[in-house]
Amino acid sequence: DRPRFPWRGLHVDPARHFMPVAAIERVLDGMAATKLNVLHWHLTDDQGFRAESRLYPRLHTLGSDGEYYTQQQMRHVVAYARARGIRVVPEFDMPGHVTAWLVGHPELAAAPGPYAIERRWGIFEPTLDPTREEVYRFLDRFVGEMAAIFTDPCLHIGGDEVKSTQWDASPAIAAFRREHGLESNEALQTHFNRRLMKILAKHGKATVG
């Protein structure tokens, strides 16, 4: 006997509406009761950066209004889920939906800051700059830090709804596209995704997006 679907997931989004650990535990208990086995934990978006980073503390201290999960709490949730037969797949959205990242690290953005946590719903313009090596060095260290906490083989990079306004307005990005034969912003995002997939693979993670 085996389940028909090996991935029986539930997505929760505390990036936009923060949920304390007790609420996450209650969700996991309900998942166990109904035989759901993958918690998709959406931890970053324009409205909040909810994961403690000790390497880059400005991510959570400036991007969360003080509502975030400590590394100890995230490890606890992973262990609590595992005890109930549930995987935890975290989502760190990029290269769009990154306003909360950029509050503390505007140097990663495709356009100059400053940035502020988004208070509305919608699809917003701030994006990472996919042409600069320092962005990938930053992501390499951050992914490595999170990979040590989240033991599941998958990590979700979001990747949806990337507005190209900042990319279109940047002469440096336009020059990069010409130099690398990238004929569209979709091709530029593919370039970013390929670089990011190599970083995730280096840290033992398969990319979900």
* Catalytic residue set: 45, 97, 161
Nearest Cα residue to 21 out of 81, 93, 83: 81
- For residues 144 and 1, what is the distance between their CA atoms, to the nearest angstrom? 37
Which of the 8 DSSP states describes residue 149?
A: T
Number of Cβ atoms within 10 Å of the Cβ of 150: 22
Alpha helices, H only, 51-209: 58-62, 71-82, 99-104, 133-147, 165-169, 171-180, 185-202
**Which phi-psi region, left, alpha or beta, contains residue 154 (left: φ > 0; alpha: ψ -120 to 50)?**
beta
Rounded alpha-carbon distances, angstroms, from residue 7 to 108, 111, 151, 174: 34, 38, 16, 40
